[in-house]
Chain A
Amino acid sequence: MSRYIATRAIRGANLIVAEAEAMLRKAIEELGADTPVTFPNTAYYLPVIFGFTGREVTKLGDLVPVIEQAKEILHPVPGKELWLPYLGQTLDCGVATLWAEEAIEGIRFARGLEPQEITWDGSYVPSSSFTSPDAEDQVGRHLNGPIDDIQLRSWGIQLVDGRMPGFAAIIGAARSNEAAVQIIRELQQRNILIFLSGNVNGRSIIHQLMEEGVEMGYDTYIVPFGTDTISAIYAAGFATRAALTFGGMKGGQARGMLLYNKFRCFAFAIALGEVDDLKFATAAGVLNYGFPVIADTVIPQILPTGLTMYEHVVSMPFDDIEGKDDAEKARRLVQRAIEVRGVKIKITEVPIPVPYGSAFEGERVRRAEMRVEFGGKYSRCFEYLTTSDFDAVEDGKIEIVGPDFEDVEEAGHMDMGIVVEVAGRKMQDDFEPVLERQIHYFVNGASGIQHIGQRDIAWIRLSKAAAEKGFNLKHFGEILYARFHADFGAIVDKVQVTIYTDPEEMKEWLAKARKAYDYRNRRLADMTDDSVEEFYSCTLCQSFAPNHVCIVSPERLGLCGAYNWLDCKASHQINPTGPNQPIKKGACEDPSYGVFSGVNDFVRQASHQTVERVSMYSIMLDPMTACGCFECIAMIIPEANGVMVVSREDPSMTPTGMTFSTLAGMAGGGLQTPGVMGHGKYYLTSKKFMTSDGGFKRVVWMSSFLKETMAEELKAVAEREGDPDLLDKIADERVSTTVEELLPFLEEKGHPALTLPPMF
Chain B
Amino acid sequence: MTEQRSIDPAVCDLLEICEEDGISTVFDRADAMKACPIGAKGACCRNCSMGPCRLTKEGQVGICGATIDTIAARNFARMTAAGAAAHSDHGRGMALTLLAAATGDAPDYHVRDVRKLHEVAGFLGVETDGRETADIAKEVAEKALIEFGRQTGEIVYLQRAPRKRQQIWRELGIAPRGIDREVVDIMHRTHVGNDQSYESLLMASLRTALADGWGGSMLSTDITDILFGSPVPLVAKANMGNLSEDQVNIVIHGHEPTLSEMILVAVNDPEIIEYAKSKGAKGINLTGICCTANETLMRQGVATIGNFLSQELAIVTGAVDMMVVDIQCIMQALGPLTEKFHTLLITTSPKAHIDGVTHVNFEEHDALEIAKRIFKMGIDNFPNRREVHIPKDVNQLVVGFSHEYINYALGGFYRGSLRPLNDAVMQGRLRGVAGVVGCNNARSCHDYAHDYVVRELIKNDVLVVMTGCGAIACAKYGLLSPEAAKYAGPGLREICETVGIPPVLHLGSCVDNTRILTVLSQMATEGGLGEDISDVPGVGFAPEWMSEKAISIGTYFVASGVYTIFVSESPVRNSPAVVRFQSEVWEKRVGGKLEFIADVKESVQKALEHIDKKRAALGLPEYDPKRYGQSGDAVMLKVLEERGEEVFNLYSAKVVQSAGS
Please name all residues of chain A whose beta carbon is closer than 8 Å to the beta carbon of B635 when the two chains form the complex. Answer: 298, 300-301, 315
A390 at the interface (CB under 8 A from B): no
* 12 A–B contacts from the bound complex (CB under 8 Å): A1-B498, A1-B500, A2-B631, A89-B412, A95-B412, A274-B648, A296-B651, A301-B630, A302-B631, A303-B630, A304-B429, A305-B424
CA distance A85 to B495 in the complex (A): 11
Q: Do residues A82 and B413 form an inter-chain contact, with CB atoms below 8 A?
A: no
What bracket does the count of chain B residues touching chain A fall in? 35 or more
Contact B235–A88 (Cβ < 8 Å): no
Given contact pairs A175-B651, A304-B424, A88 touches B494 in the complex (Cβ within 8 A): no
CB proximity to A under 8 Å, residues B442-476: none
Given A3-B500, A306-B420, the answer on whether A92 and B235 have CB atoms closer than 8 Å is no
CB distance B420 to A307 under 8 Å? yes
Interface residue? A87 (CB, 8 A): yes
- Closest 10 CB pairs between A and B? A306-B420, A91-B412, A86-B500, A319-B652, A303-B631, A88-B412, A297-B650, A301-B631, A306-B423, A85-B500
Q: A85-B409, A288-B412, A301-B630 are in contact. List 18 more A-B contacts (CB 8 A).
A: A3-B497, A3-B500, A4-B636, A83-B398, A85-B398, A85-B500, A88-B412, A91-B414, A92-B412, A92-B413, A274-B650, A298-B635, A298-B653, A300-B631, A304-B424, A307-B415, A307-B419, A318-B652
Is B499 within 8 A of A79, CB to CB? Answer: no
A-chain residues with CB within 8 Å of residue B414 when the two chains form the complex: 52, 91-92, 95, 254-255, 258, 288
A87 touches B410 (CB 8 A): yes
* In contact, A304 and B413 (Cβ under 8 angstroms): no
Given A82-B235, A87-B410, A92-B412, verify A2-B633 contact (CB < 8 Å).
Answer: yes
Q: Given A4-B637, A304-B429, decide whether A258 and B651 contact each other with a Cβ distance below 8 A.
A: no
Name the CB-closest residue of B to A290.
B415
Q: Is the CB of A306 within 8 A of B651?
A: no
Residues of chain A touching chain B, judged by Cβ–Cβ distance below 8 Å, are 1-4, 6, 52, 73, 78-79, 82-92, 94-95, 175, 200-201, 254-255, 258-259, 274, 288, 296-307, 311-313, 315, 317-320
Shortest CB–CB separation between residue A296 and chain B, in angstroms?
7
Residues of chain B within 8 A of A78, CB atoms compared = 500
Contact B423 A305 (CB under 8 A): yes
Best-surrounded residue of A6, A297, A318 (most CB of chain B within 10 A): A297
B422 within 8 A of A: yes
A175 nearest in chain B by CB position = B651
CB of B427 within 8 Å of the partner chain: yes
Report the bound CA distance from A300 to B650 in whole Å: 12
Q: Is B482 part of the binding interface, using a Cβ–Cβ cutoff of 8 Å?
A: yes
**Chain B residues within 8 Å of A, Cβ to Cβ:** 233-235, 396, 398, 408-417, 419-424, 427, 429, 481-483, 494-495, 497-501, 628, 630-633, 635-637, 639, 648, 650-654
Contact of B411 among A84, A91, A303, A318 (CB under 8 A): A91
Distance between A277 CB and nearest chain B CB, rounded to angstroms: 12
User: Would B415 and A317 count as touching, CB distance under 8 A?
Assistant: no
B637 to chain A, nearest CB (A): 7
Give every chain B residue within 8 A of A305 (Cβ-Cβ): 420, 423-424, 427
Residue of B with least CB distance to A52? B414
With known contacts A3-B633, A300-B635, A305-B423, A84–B233 Cβ distance under 8 A: yes
Q: Which residues from chain A contact B422 at a C-beta distance below 8 Å?
A: 306
Q: Which residues of A contact B421 (CB under 8 A)?
A: 306
Establish whether residues B398 and A84, one from each chain, have CB atoms under 8 Å apart when the complex forms: yes
Contacts of A317 in B (CB 8 A): 650-654
Q: How far is the CA of A254 from the CA of B412 in the complex (A)?
A: 12
Bound complex: CA A43 to CA B57 (Å): 85
In the complex the two chains form, what is the Cα distance from A255 to B503 in whole Å?
28
A274 to B413, CA, bound (A): 29
B529 to chain A, nearest CB (A): 13
Whole-angstrom distance from the CB of B250 to the nearest CB of chain A?
25
Give Cα distance in the complex from A733 to B631, angstroms: 57
Q: Inside 8 A of B234's CB, which chain A residues have their CB? A: 84
Within the complex, what minimum Cβ distance (angstroms) separates B641 from chain A? 12
Contact B411 A306 (CB under 8 A): yes
Q: How far is the CB of B170 from chain A (nearest CB, A)?
A: 29
Given contacts A82-B396, A82-B398, A85-B233, contact A6 B650 (CB under 8 A): no
Q: A88–B427 contact, CB under 8 A?
A: no
Given A3-B633, A82-B483, answer yes or no on A297-B500 (Cβ-Cβ < 8 Å).
no
Q: Nearest chain A CB to B658's CB is how many angstroms away?
A: 11
Instruction: Assess the A88–B631 pair: CB atoms within 8 A.
Output: no
Chain B residues with CB below 8 A from A302, complex form: 498, 631
The CA-CA distance from A267 to B481 in the complex, in Å, is: 36
Q: Which of B423, B500, B654 contacts A84 (CB 8 A)?
A: B500
CB distance from A47 to the nearest CB of B (A): 16
The contact of A303 among B396, B628, B633, B650, by CB within 8 Å, is B628
Residues of A within 8 A of B631 (CB): 2, 300-304, 311, 313
Q: Which of B419, B498, B628 has most chain A Cβ within 10 Å? A: B498
A299: chain B residues at CB < 8 Å are 636, 650
Residues of A with C-beta under 8 A to B494: 303-304
CA distance A78 to B631 in the complex (A): 18
Whole-angstrom distance between the Cβ of B224 and the nearest chain A Cβ: 22
Contact B654 A87 (CB under 8 A): no
What is the CB-to-nearest-CB distance from B485 to chain A, in angstroms, rounded to a whole number? 10
Contact of B410 among A6, A83, A88, A255 (CB under 8 A): A88
Most B CB within 10 A of own CB, among A1, A254, A304: A304
Query: CB-CB < 8 A to B419: which residues of A?
Result: 306-307
